[in-house]
């Protein structure tokens, strides 16, 4: 054991898809500040673009099971800075993201409750700009503390410098550059004017049921209450990532964003297709988001399986390892779905997870 970190060899890489994955050399960082004082950590590990940074393994599909070098941040302290009407809540990258959400909502702070039950670590969350039920992490994020693997320095990136978009960030654009150490968000101490935000399919009904059970009016629901409601809704349609029975990465494909004109043409041919107009990103192209799950289900893939790689029976957007599937089996299935959806609808599905295949 060395100060701030430890090195293992031939270490298994934990991942929620439950496929075989191994690292020839595995660096576990328990104290980021202490570890970064060591030149060996900075140059031999982090400066090497071939080194893979992993969190909870909830957004990586290992098609190739062997990785030469892996760095895992296990540092998981958290806290907050008090402000008059808000708090600046921070957490190190190794903390479980859902654990952080539960802690903030238990404090009665508003802002992260709709992101309950999302797997992975705090450090991984900004990479995908995780989002659910009408919000994204970037809606409350203030800054991200990073180690720049190229410039070999530590810095703090404000949210405006992170280039956040739908399932996108500068961290995703340059995956070999950034090592996320800490995330800071601003949360409210009092309910926002639109509380509770239930304008998402299925939420309003679940909230009514919860409020009736708790004998509480909807406006009196707490952040912790809404996190519990979100948990109920997610578990009805998604595998529980804590269980070993099924391997899953959650939603495997992004909801495609297309031009309004193309969306209208699809809607004319398939009237039931869900279409969600998006806020204008530029002055030239108005865009709409489509439901990837709908496209996959209508193409007949829901419940399909081959070589123990399948599509979850409760949700067509979720690839599952039914037991013993290899990463290559799951990736083959994903590519078959991509090709079929493109042939039927002219829509290119983009995977959400990082694909390790070369």
Q: Which long-range contacts (CB under 8 A, 24 or more apart) does 271-276 make?
A: none
Q: Is residue 336 part of a domain?
A: yes
Please indicate, yes or no, whether residues 51 and 172 belong to a single structural domain of this protein.
Answer: no
**Are 13 and 94 contained in the same domain?**
no
Whether 106 and 216 map to the same domain: the answer is yes
pLDDT of 2 > 80? The answer is: no
Inter-helix orientation angle 203-214/223-237, to 10°: 130
- Rounded average pLDDT over 139-149: 98
Cα 267 to the center of its chain, rounded Å:
29
Does residue 331 share a domain with residue 273? yes
- 111 within a domain of the structure (yes/no): yes
Question: Are 148 and 254 contained in the same domain?
Answer: no
Residues 92, 117, 287, 352: which is the catalytic one?
352
Quick one: 219 and 120 in the same domain? Answer: yes
**How many domains does the structure of the chain reveal?**
3
Domain boundary among 73, 89, 117: 73
pLDDT 10s digits, 176-231: 999 999 999 999 999 999 999 998 878 999 999 999 999 999 999 999 999 999 99
Find the catalytic residue in 28, 167, 186, 234. Answer: 167
67 and 92: one domain? no
pLDDT reading at 147 higher than 80: yes
Burial zone of 176 (CB within 10 Å; 0-12 exposed, 13-18 middle, 19+ buried): middle
Q: Is the pLDDT of residue 95 over 80?
A: yes
Decide: helix, strand or coil at residue 298: helix
- The sign of the torsion formed by the CA atoms of 337, 343, 349, 351 equals positive
CB atoms within 10 A of CB 89: 23
Q: Are residues 33 and 86 in the same domain?
A: no
* CATH for 264: 3.90.78.10
- Model confidence at 279: pLDDT above 90: no
Q: What is the mean pLDDT of residues 331-349?
A: 98
Q: How far is CA 345 from CA 12, 31, 310, in A?
A: 40, 49, 22
Same domain for 251 and 125? no
193 and 44, same domain (yes or no): no
Q: Is the pLDDT of residue 243 over 90?
A: no
Q: Is 251 a known active-site residue?
A: yes
Please give the mean pLDDT across all residues of the chain: 94
Q: Does position 160 have pLDDT exceeding 70, yes or no?
A: yes
Angle at 322 between CA 232 and CA 239, to 5 degrees: 10
Say which of 58, 138, 251, 288 is annotated catalytic. 251
Do 147 and 101 sit in the same domain of this protein?
A: yes
Asked if 68 and 81 sit in the same domain, the reply is no
Is 352 part of the annotated catalytic residue set?
yes
CATH of the domain at 173: 3.30.465.10
Print the domain residue range for 100: 76-237
Q: Render 40-75 in DSSP notation, one character per residue.
A: IIIIIIIT-TTPEEESSSSSEEESS-EEEEEEEE--
């Amino acid at each position: 054991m060395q100060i701030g970190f430890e090195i293992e060899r031939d270490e298994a890489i934990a991942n929620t898809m439950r496929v075989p994955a191994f690292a020839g050399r595995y660096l576990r960082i328990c104290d980021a500040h202490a570890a970064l004082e060591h030149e060996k950590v900075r140059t031999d590990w982090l400066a090497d673009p071939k080194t893979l940074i992993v969190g909870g393994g909830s957004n990586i599909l290992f098609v190739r099971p062997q990785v030469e070098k892996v760095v895992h941040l296990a540092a998981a302290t958290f806290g907050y800075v008090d402000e008059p009407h808000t708090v600046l809540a921070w957490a190190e990258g190794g903390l479980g993201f859902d654990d952080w959400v539960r802690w903030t909502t238990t404090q009665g702070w508003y802002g992260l409750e709709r992101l309950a039950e999302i797997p992975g670590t705090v450090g991984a969350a900004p990479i995908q700009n995780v989002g659910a039920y009408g919000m994204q992490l970037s809606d409350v994020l203030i800054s991200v503390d990073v180690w720049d693997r190229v410039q070999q320095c530590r810095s703090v990136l404000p949210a405006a410098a992170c280039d956040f978009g739908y399932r996108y960030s500068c961290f995703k654009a340059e995956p070999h550059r950034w090592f996320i150490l800490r995330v800071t968000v601003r949360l409210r101490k009092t309910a926002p004017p639109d509380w509770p935000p239930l304008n998402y399919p299925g939420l309003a009904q679940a909230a009514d049921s919860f409020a009736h059970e708790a004998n509480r009016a909807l406006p009196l629901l707490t952040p912790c209450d809404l996190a519990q409601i979100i948990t109920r809704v997610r578990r009805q349609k998604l595998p529980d990532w804590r269980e070993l029975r099924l391997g899953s990465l959650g939603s495997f494909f992004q909801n495609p964003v297309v031009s309004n004109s193309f969306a209208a043409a699809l809607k004319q041919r398939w009237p039931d297709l869900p279409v969600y107009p998006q806020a204008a990103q530029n002055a030239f192209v108005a865009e709409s988001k489509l439901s990837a799950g709908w496209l996959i289900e209508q193409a007949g893939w829901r419940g399909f399986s081959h070589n123990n790689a399948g599509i979850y029976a409760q949700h067509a957007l979720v690839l599952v390892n039914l037991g013993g599937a290899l990463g290559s089996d799951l990736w083959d299935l994903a590519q078959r779905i991509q090709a079929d959806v493109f042939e039927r609808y002219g829509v290119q599905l983009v995977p959400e997870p990082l694909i390790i295949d070369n």
